[in-house]
Amino acid sequence: MVNTSPGWELYRSFLAVVREGSLSGGARLLGLTQPTVGRHIDALEASLGAGLFTRSQGGLTPTELALALVPHAEAMSMAAEALQRAASGEAEEERGTVRITASEMIATEVLPPILARFREEHPRIAIELVLSNRTDDLIRRDADIAIRMIRPTQSSLVARKVGVLGLGLHAHKSLIQRFGMPASVEDLKNCPIIGFDRESSIRRLKYLGGFPLSRELFAFRCDSDIGQFSALKAGVGFGMCQYPLAKRYPDLVPVLPGEIEFELDVWIVMHEDLKTSRRMRLMFDHLVEEMSAYARSGQPATKGKSFSK
């Protein structure tokens, strides 16, 4: 029977070795020496009374026990990071760290200038940005504030709807010159369409202008929103784009406005435990104001269909 519980430093080294596949890789990841990480693994195995890795010339292979421990070690890691962020600044002081999570497009195309303006006003607050479409980031506590396109249902979260984001079909001017401006949805069958690769992604949007979507419909397939947007700007094909974002690129023109478009609700979400932190409130209020303005800056030609992402 094990009389003492292994400390976090042992599990931290264990998780690093699992991720890197070797003691040396884990040591580099943590900024420790290889012998130190090796001692941590030996101590953890001794405490558990079982081996965690099969050693070979190719590196370290996790045992079944090790694989079973990984999700729990990851939860410990996220809790430790959240604890560090909470301790990084006093509750009523404008210092410390705020960790934000947002979708690929919002994080790369919308947030940078918004966060730059926040940093100008609050230079002592550090910002961490996570690109993720998961909706459970705040419950898992691997982020403090989230920008989401779906209303959260967990009672432990504080959520503010800041607007409605319109999306519509767009194309580069050069593509319109080659294929002409489609006069109807039926005309799109003769045009290159940008879409998803995997069936799980296609299910996010089952229909385009009334006809069902399938992988074979798309001339360019990519499950990354950033990849699709880059292809759209390059004139690879016709694709969906946020209206306020398309307005920033004069070469992108709307196609069949009023027929192929939908809307996304925009929510700013924070765990209720963080309401007492001044830096969290400052960021939350800043994002509410800025994302509200962004959503208002471009609206669909007509009211589109509601769509949850």
**pLDDT tens figures, 237-250:** 999 999 999 999 99
- Please tell me the distance from the alpha carbon of residue 127 to that of residue 116, in angstroms, as a whole number: 10
Same domain, 121 and 240: no
Q: What does the angle CA 230 – CA 110 – CA 93 come to, to the nearest 5 degrees?
A: 145
Same domain, 140 and 272: yes
Q: Is the pLDDT confidence value at 64 over 80? A: yes
3-state helix, strand, coil in the chain (%, to 5): 45, 25, 35
Confidence of residue 47 (pLDDT cuts 50, 70, 90): confident
Same domain, 224 and 143: no
Same domain, 177 and 191: yes
Same domain, 54 and 113: no
Q: Is the pLDDT confidence value at 271 over 50? A: yes
Nearest to 133 by CA among 62, 217, 200: 200
| Total tally of structural domains belonging to the chain | 3
Structural domain includes residue 38? yes
Confidence of residue 306 (pLDDT cuts 50, 70, 90): very low
Beta strand pairing call for 157-172 and 239-242: antiparallel
Same domain, 129 and 171: no
**How high is the pLDDT of residue 309?**
35
The CATH number given to whatever domain includes residue 191 is 3.40.190.10
The CATH number given to whatever domain includes residue 31 is 1.10.10.10
Structural domain includes residue 91? no
Structural domain includes residue 88? no
Structural domain includes residue 250? yes
Region 48-58: mean pLDDT is: 81
Structural domain includes residue 124? yes
Confidence of residue 294 (pLDDT cuts 50, 70, 90): very high
Structural domain includes residue 1? no
Structural domain includes residue 180? yes
Same domain, 129 and 273: yes
The encoded tokens of residue 102 equal: 């947002």
Q: Who wins on pLDDT, 95 or 146?
A: 146
Region 40-60: mean pLDDT is: 83
Q: Is the pLDDT confidence value at 77 over 80? A: no
Region 127-146: mean pLDDT is: 76
Instruction: Return the SS3 of 167.
Output: strand
Q: Which domain holds residue 114?
A: 96-160+268-293
Structural domain includes residue 302? no
In percent, how much of the chain has pLDDT > 70?
82
Q: Who wins on pLDDT, 154 or 224?
A: 224
